């Protein structure tokens, strides 16, 4: 085995270890929030030394930022990217929203980094907040584009106000998380689905 082969093997092992740490970190952050994520707790779960974890993430803040990025990558992979296979306009928008609701239902037990992170870092400037804002804004812009395309394709009325529709839908999904996870209100998921469906119906082009 050449020196280059050895270096490649070491690099791959390092990448695998880092991915495993991130996976565990996501699980912990979903349960305890980004602020509940500590190098010590993560090292214990990974059966590694703290210095071993630090070797992959230079600081706790770096780890938190990496967790937000990984959460966003997985979110795009499961919610946004599959919807792009749908036809432009309303079919794509509805698929995005359906997948988003399904993700929220799943996260009633695993936790949502976007929502918990917004509560933890809403008034705390820094790299973690910046990454959270960037990730959430990216998703919001994707929904907004889908709404605008629905208008352009003639699926929604020309009088539709895309920003207002985005605000209403986003508020409903946040309300779903609050009512279902915090207040344990039965039927929250169905109510959220009906509310979003009504918003779409109210803006549908009758032609």
Q: Distance between CA atoms of 71 and 53, rounded to whole angstroms?
A: 19
Q: Distance between CA atoms of 80 and 100, rounded to whole angstroms?
A: 8
The pLDDT value recorded for residue 14 is 56
Q: Distance between CA atoms of 62 and 44, rounded to whole angstroms?
A: 19
Number of separate helices (H) and strands (E) present in the chain = 10, 0
Residue numbers of the domain that contains 136: 3-203
The pLDDT value recorded for residue 74 is 94
Q: Distance between CA atoms of 139 and 98, rounded to whole angstroms?
A: 14
The pLDDT value recorded for residue 177 is 92
**C-alpha to C-alpha distances, 30 to 33, 55, 149, 185, nearest whole angstrom:** 6, 23, 33, 21
Of 142, 134, 138, 161, the closest CA to residue 84 belongs to 142
Model-wide pTM > 0.95 = no
Query: For position 41, which CATH number holds?
Result: 1.10.357.10
How is the chain split among helix, strand and coil, in percent rounded to 5?
80, 0, 20
pLDDT in tens, the chain (207 residues): 664 444 444 446 657 888 898 999 999 998 889 998 888 888 888 888 888 888 888 888 999 999 999 999 999 999 999 999 999 999 999 999 999 999 999 998 888 999 999 999 999 999 999 999 999 999 999 999 999 999 999 999 999 999 999 999 999 999 999 999 999 999 999 999 999 999 999 999 765
- Counting the structural domains of the chain, the total is 1
């Amino acid at each position: 085995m050449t020196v280059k082969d050895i270096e490649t093997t070491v690099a791959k092992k390092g990448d695998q270890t880092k991915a495993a740490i991130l996976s565990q970190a996501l699980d912990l952050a979903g349960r305890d929030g980004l602020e509940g994520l500590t190098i010590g707790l993560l090292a214990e779960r990974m059966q590694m030394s703290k210095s071993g974890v630090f070797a992959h993430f230079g600081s706790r803040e770096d780890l938190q930022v990496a967790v937000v990025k990984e959460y966003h990558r997985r979110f795009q992979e499961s919610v946004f990217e599959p919807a792009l296979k749908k036809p432009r306009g309303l079919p794509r928008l509805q698929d995005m929203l359906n997948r988003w609701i399904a993700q929220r239902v799943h996260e009633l037990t695993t936790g949502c980094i976007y929502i918990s992170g917004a509560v933890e870092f809403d008034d705390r400037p820094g790299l973690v907040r910046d990454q959270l804002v960037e990730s959430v804004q990216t998703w919001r812009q994707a929904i907004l584009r889908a709404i605008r395309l629905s208008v352009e394709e003639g699926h929604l009325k020309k009088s539709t106000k895309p920003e207002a529709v985005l605000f209403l839908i986003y508020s409903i999904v946040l309300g779903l998380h609050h009512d279902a996870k915090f207040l344990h209100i039965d039927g929250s998921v169905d109510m959220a689905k009906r509310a979003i469906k009504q918003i779409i119906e109210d803006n549908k082009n009758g032609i």
